Chain A
């Protein structure tokens, strides 16, 4: 497999300028970035640093002011809205801070519904059940969202994102509403899924503790990307000795 086949995200000179009544606001300075298949990359930075803007551009939810965006071999900067909708529906998984489940539908129905435009309910439902089991919710398929905990709702959102068997999973503050142990459970699950499926992940987070779960961390500051790489330290874990 050549490098081109392994290239999942390729951004070159991507900028985003918003026109506001007070004048143009630069949300992203020229960003150049590549993400390879199976990588987990964290986009870090404080609120307003541009990480959600960057994630939206990679997801085809927003267009750059300048620069080229190629995701899974598709050039997003020049795609039509219709092409972008199909691209998101068929090739990407997206997880947000809140799962945004439809309150009147069961967990299973929530997993299935986003894929209905491109699939048949009878074939989607068994796969959705398998995915709910994979995220530890085998016995929750018939529950309405109100009966689920925050962490369970987020896992339903993850199952929904995975139903199309995407090669790229984008997550925007996926653990923002979760307590510490539930955060660890979700990060552990994401890592297992990444390994099982050679899934590529881009996770936007302001939290260094969440970013540490990714193999590579990139920091955005004022819309500009500061390259950060691991130095390969062995992590020192405090071992408590029981004499």
Chain B
């Protein structure tokens, strides 16, 4: 689901401007996660067109108006599905980062879900490995197994510290005291 799931996920915490969403991602996940402004605004435009978010114009003195975005009912369903049911291993980090902010009470549950997803993937790879005898197949599967193992061990380590992680203040919270998400 990519960036759309991430933006919808962030909006579970309450209405926000596009700029705030991008800033939050950068503050929480930077510098290894890059978010391009054009990608964020293009995606938010599509989400508005598709009825995932609604927008409300907010007037600002001496500055251009801003669009305050909020999830529609279908957008909220999509966001929760992305958080708790999607299974793209490349998105585990960002799903957990978003969950920490918007559903901290379900953060540990999400780590459990990801552990189960990665465990199931490992089981599948091990089953493939049993029959992989030709050419470079076994080495190719071993490479994938090692990646999944690394994901799994990382998620378990995060789960063990889930309590402290959700207590940690959000990044940039001191510099922007205006309520963003609920």
Contact = CB atoms under 8 A, between A and B. Distances in A.
A214 B118 CA distance: 13
Nearest to B119: A212
B122 A209 contact: yes
B153 interface: yes
A235 interface: yes
B120 A233 contact: yes
A235 B152 contact: no
A46 B119 contact: no
SS of A interface (majority): loop
A233 B116 contact: yes
B119 A238 contact: no
**Size bracket, chain A contacts:** 20 to 34
Given A180-B142, A208-B153, A209-B149, A238 B120 contact: no
Contacts of A236: 87-89, 117, 120-121
Interface string A174-217: 00000011001001100110000000000000011101110001
Interface string A203-243: 00001110111000100000000001011011111100000
A222 to B, nearest CB: 12
Interface string A107-119: 0000000000000
B145 A213 contact: no
Contact of A208 (B119, B120, B130): B119
Given A191-B126, A211-B119, A237-B124, 12 more contacts: A180-B145, A187-B126, A208-B119, A212-B119, A212-B122, A217-B119, A233-B87, A233-B116, A233-B120, A236-B88, A236-B89, A236-B117
Contacts of A191: 126, 130
B115 interface: yes
Nearest to A42: B119
Which of B113, B121, B128 is packed against the most chain A CB atoms within 10 Å?
A: B121
A204 B108 CA distance: 23
B80 interface: no
Contacts of B122: 209, 212-213, 235
Contacts of A46: 160
